């Protein structure tokens, strides 16, 4: 069944009540960096944010690395002048090496400088959720996490979390300060966190927001082999193994099964893909990326979609 109204969930123990789908601002960072999605139209990106907020989405997840500040600036433009703004989540630890490629740093001074720059770009007094983007270098995760705890103490960030950490790393840093949230990749394309990471987060009371629930576009129902072949060179997906054979055909077959289930509910394949991730009891919310306003409505429907066991069996069936 599909329920009306945008459902919410408590994000771990943060006290924040978030809509089950949030606005992911990776793609709107543009193509001028190592993991860009090709050229984007900022006015279209802002219109997409406007539409998501109009439908009730109450959080945006971005990062300093997305276009090396560009995504945060676009988010700030979209939120300027609003009487009420959504929660704004961002991340640190990925820096520009000067050529558009990423270098990692979890050094205290670097994290503190990144936070200051993000606050300025976003135009906010405090960041609602500040996250370590990647646990790299591994030997510095304690230093990086201590810096986030320091920022929270200072009131510059309200809550702190991590992205892409494994269970051993979560345990290592939890003695410094409680890990409030985790952001892992999770989709029918990448289910690697199901076995250990999500159950651990649920037991530990860590809030979970998953990224790439539609497999970076593979499971939207709009992806085709022809569209992949035509991707611009500065779209990171063009050289990703999941977007090349033999994986591509397997993922597109999964998208076909999602579309068949979606047809019964009157929703898109992408909405079914997102709803599949939200069935996991550890998952509080899913980050859904939009670049144009027309992409928003078909996916936000996932927040109210309840899949049956039979639906899931059909979706997960071998192609």
Catalytic residues: 66
Asked whether 31 and 37 are in contact (CB, 8 A), the reply is yes
Mind spelling out the 3-state secondary structure of the chain? CECCCCCEEECCCCCCEEECEEEECCHHHCCCCCCCECCCCHHHHHHHHHHHHHCCCCEEECCCCCCCCHHHHHHHHHHCCCCCCCEEEEEECEEECCCCCEEECCCHHHHHHHHHHHHHHHCCCCECEEEECCCCCHHHHHHHHHHHHHHHHHCCECCEEEECCCHHHHHHHHCCCCCCEEECECCCCCCCCCCCHHHHHHHHCCEEEEECCCHHHCCCCCCCHHHHHCCCCCEHHHHCHHHCCCHHHHHHHHHHHHHHHHHHHCCCHHHHHHHHHHCCCCCCEEEEECCCHHHHHHHHHHHHECCCHHHHHHHHCCC
Question: Which residues pair with residue 89 across a beta bridge?
Answer: 61, 129
Residue with tokens 């193509």: 31
CA 206 → CA 15, 153, 271, distances in Å?
12, 19, 25
């Amino acid at each position: 069944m599909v329920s009306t109204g945008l459902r919410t969930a408590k994000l771990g123990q943060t006290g924040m009540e978030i809509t089950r789908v949030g606005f992911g601002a990776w793609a709107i960072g543009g193509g001028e960096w190592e993991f860009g999605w090709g050229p984007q139209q900022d006015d279209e990106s802002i219109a997409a944010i406007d539409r998501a907020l109009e439908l009730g989405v109450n959080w945006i997840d971005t990062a300093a690395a997305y276009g090396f500040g560009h995504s945060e600036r676009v988010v700030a433009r979209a939120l300027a002048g609003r009487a009420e703004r959504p929660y704004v989540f961002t991340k640190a630890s990925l820096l520009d090496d000067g050529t558009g490629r990423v270098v990692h740093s979890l050094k205290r001074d670097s994290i503190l400088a990144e936070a200051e720059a993000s606050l300025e770009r976003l135009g906010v007094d405090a960041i609602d959720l500040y996250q370590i983007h990647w646990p790299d270098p591994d030997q510095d995760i304690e230093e990086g996490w201590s810096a986030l705890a320091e920022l929270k103490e200072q009131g510059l960030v309200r809550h702190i979390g991590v992205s892409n950490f494994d269970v051993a790393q979560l345990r290592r840093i939890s003695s410094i300060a409680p890990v409030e949230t985790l952001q892992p990749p999770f989709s029918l394309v990448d289910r690697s966190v199901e076995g250990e990471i999500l159950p651990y987060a649920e037991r530990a009371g860590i809030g979970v927001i998953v990224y790439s629930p539609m497999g970076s576009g593979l499971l939207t129902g709009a992806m085709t082999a022809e569209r992949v072949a035509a991707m611009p060179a500065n779209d990171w997906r063009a050289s990703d193994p999941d977007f090349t054979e033999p994986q591509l055909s397997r993922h597109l077959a999964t998208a076909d099964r999602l579309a068949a289930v979606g047809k019964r509910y009157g929703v898109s394949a992408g909405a079914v893909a997102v709803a599949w991730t939200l069935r996991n009891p550890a998952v509080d919310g899913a980050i859904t990326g939009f670049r144009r306003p027309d992409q928003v409505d078909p996916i936000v429907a996932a927040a109210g979609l309840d899949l049956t066991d039979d639906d899931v069996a059909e979706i997960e069936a071998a192609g």
